[in-house]
Amino acid sequence: TSLFESVELAPRDPILGLNEQYNADARTGKVNLGVGVYYDDQGRLPLLESVSKAETARIEAHAARGYLPMEGIAGYNKGAQTLLFGADSPIISSGRALTAQALGGTGALKIGADFLKALLPNAKVVISNPSWENHRALFERAGFPVETYAYYDAATHGLDFPGMLASLRALPAQTIVILHACCHNPTGVDPTFEQWQEIVQIVKENKLVPFLDIAYQGFGDGLEEDASVVRLFAQQDLTMLVSSSFSKSFSLYGERVGALTLVTSSKDESVRVLSQLKRIIRTNYSNPPTHGGTVVSTVLNTPELYTLWTTELAGMRERIRTMRVQLVEKLKAHGVTQNFDFVLDQRGMFSYSGLTSQQVDRLRDEHAIYAVSSGRICVAALNSRNIDYVAKAIASVLT
Ligand code: PMP
């Protein structure tokens, strides 16, 4: 008998399953709004010029590929901290922040989860309802019970702020709270800065453990603006964790570029905490890969490339914004009477469109347009060639 005889087939990832269906669809003009990546107006995954220049410099330097330190490239980690807290932040100068390069935002969350499990073995984790689907799986796999806090209000297509506050108020001390620092995935709905000020007070009073996930910095209102929640939390003298992903902002998905940053209460604490993170990294994958990290570090630390990158990032952000505006206009033009203005208030790549799973099925069956059954659409998959077709199709399934 085989050792693996009793192994069951794991359920397949719903979004990856959607991509397979899309790829197998022979209809011309098909549109995949189920993806979680940014496409340009030609419907292509961009290779940023800033990235390309940094790569060329790296290849021309004929750099050897030795092992990196367990915590990764120093310039990369410094760059990640600067994006989060700002160049002049006392959090950085006082040594209260420590960062480890990580295998994407996912890797950052996992290192953080493993660290927290050893520190708080009896704590639970709460995630927003709904959240990025991997949050629950990842923290459960790390050994935590995972519950949800109220977040999205389907009736208003906005935030259930009273519900969110009530959920957070009811949590016992040391509950780990996963918060999307900007551009909430999957809804696109973010609290306002004033609402965040209330949230942070509850986190503080109830001694909750904030774990901020920032996977779309630069896709909301701007690089600095999108960090304002991280900076708000940091200013409260809170200890916290932050997972950064550069997958989207550098269009380097497959390079696994992310970072885990912790804010401690002293430099001495930071040294001890980093030593523990290094043990977790050592026993998982020893050290991060060189290529993507070097490229990101070069862009972040070379003034001309940094300026070019911020311009390219602004271009991606503004294109998504344009698609939001056009989608709402075109829905109206195609006779939709329901109010879709909420799409304009949402931030980042995604929109909870309000479409029901039956309407999503009809979009697929009748129009070859693929979306997640929750109604989540990737606004960054819309472009000047497909937006009219998509708006017309949505109009037809709404009536
Ligand atoms: N957090 C959120 C909210 C995300 O949406 C994603 C990726 N889509 C991640 C983390 C993980 O990012 P990465 O691909 O860099 O692992």
Please write the tens of the pLDDT for every residue from 338-364. Answer: 999 999 999 999 999 999 999 999 999
pLDDT for 86 equals: 97
pLDDT for 17 equals: 85
Residue 290 identity: T
> Do strands 97-103 and 257-263 pair parallel, antiparallel, or not at all (unpaired)?
antiparallel
Q: Which residues pair with 351 in a beta bridge?
A: 377
| Residue 373, burial from CB neighbour count under 10 angstroms (0-12, 13-18, 19+) | middle
Nearest CA to ligand 1 atom 7: 215
pLDDT for 159 equals: 98
**Distance (Å) of CA 270 to CA 178, 259, 273, 363:** 21, 16, 5, 51
213 lines ligand 1 (CB under 6 A): yes
Each residue's pLDDT tens digit, 82-94? 999 999 999 999 9
For ligand 1, what atom is nearest to the CA of residue 103?
16
Please state, in angstroms and rounded to a whole number, the distance separating the CA atoms of residues 87 and 94.
13
Using the predicted structure, report yes or no on whether residue 399 has a pLDDT greater than 90: no
pLDDT for 58 equals: 93
pLDDT for 342 equals: 97
Give the tokens for residue 386. 């497909």
160 lines ligand 1 (CB under 6 A): no
| Interval between CA 245 and ligand 1 midpoint (Å) | 6
Place of tokens 């989060």: 84
> Do strands 350-352 and 240-245 pair parallel, antiparallel, or not at all (unpaired)?
unpaired
| Interval between CA 215 and ligand 1 midpoint (Å) | 5
Each residue's pLDDT tens digit, 5-64? 999 999 888 788 899 999 999 999 999 999 999 999 999 999 999 999 999 999 999 888
Nearest CA among 233, 238, 200 for reference residue 214: 233
Complex ipTM more than 0.90, yes or no = yes
Each residue's pLDDT tens digit, 92-101? 999 999 999 9
Using the predicted structure, report yes or no on whether residue 194 has a pLDDT greater than 90: yes
What is residue 263's three-state secondary structure? strand
What is residue 360's three-state secondary structure? helix
**Beta carbons of 381 and 32 less than 8 angstroms apart:** yes
Please state, in angstroms and rounded to a whole number, the distance separating the CA atoms of residues 191 and 220.
12
Rounded mean pLDDT, 96-107: 98
Phi, psi of 377 (to 5 degrees): -120, 150
Selected residue with higher pLDDT from 35 and 255: 255
| Contacts of residue 193, Cβ cutoff 8 Å, sequence gap at least 6 | 228, 229, 232
pLDDT for 62 equals: 87
Each residue's pLDDT tens digit, 150-179? 999 999 999 999 999 999 999 999 999 999
34 lines ligand 1 (CB under 6 A): no
pLDDT for 15 equals: 80
**Beta carbons of 72 and 287 less than 8 angstroms apart:** yes
Selected residue with higher pLDDT from 62 and 244: 244
Using the predicted structure, report yes or no on whether residue 255 has a pLDDT greater than 80: yes
Using the predicted structure, report yes or no on whether residue 235 has a pLDDT greater than 90: yes
* 207 catalytic residue (yes or no): no
pLDDT for 348 equals: 97
| Interval between CA 28 and ligand 1 midpoint (Å) | 30
Nearest CA to ligand 1 atom 8: 36
Q: Is the pTM of this model over 0.95?
A: yes
Please state, in angstroms and rounded to a whole number, the distance separating the CA atoms of residues 224 and 117.
32
| Interval between CA 314 and ligand 1 midpoint (Å) | 20
Q: Look up residue 69 and give its DSSP letter.
A: P
The dihedral sign for the CA sequence 327, 133, 71, 174: positive
| Residue 238, burial from CB neighbour count under 10 angstroms (0-12, 13-18, 19+) | middle
